[in-house]
């Protein structure tokens, strides 16, 4: 009964890639906000301009961390689906009422 099961994607790697992307995204926003303040924009307007600029820049500058996070997330979802399919197959095999 010692079936070889594929290794479950590590929770730590997934969380690490999520936090890395999140910190980089916030860092990009705050760096742009600081630049807007240095340029002479004030308060909420500087934050709004930084937000508008950070969205397209993060798509370009943070493509690798976002891809790593996406890969980790997809691996976890696929592993969970495989576990669920395996469990459903065992339940179906054990069902005596099935025709």
18-51: pLDDT as tens digits = 899 999 999 999 999 999 999 999 999 999 999 9
List the chain domain ranges: 11-90
Better-scored residue on pLDDT, 53 or 72: 53
What confidence tens digit (pLDDT) does each residue in 56-83 have? Answer: 999 999 999 999 889 888 988 898 899 8
Distances (CA, A) of 74 to 5, 8, 37, 64: 18, 12, 39, 15
């Amino acid at each position: 009964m010692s079936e070889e099961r594929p290794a479950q994607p590590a929770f730590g790697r997934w969380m690490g890639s999520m936090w890395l992307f999140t910190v980089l995204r916030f860092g990009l926003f705050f760096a742009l906000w600081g630049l807007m303040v240095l340029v002479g924009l004030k308060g909420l307007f500087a934050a709004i301009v930084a937000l508008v600029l950070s969205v397209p820049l993060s798509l370009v500058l943070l493509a690798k961390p976002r891809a790593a996070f996406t890969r980790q997330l997809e691996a976890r979802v696929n592993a969970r689906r495989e576990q669920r399919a395996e469990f459903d197959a065992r339940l179906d095999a054990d069902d005596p009422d099935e025709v």
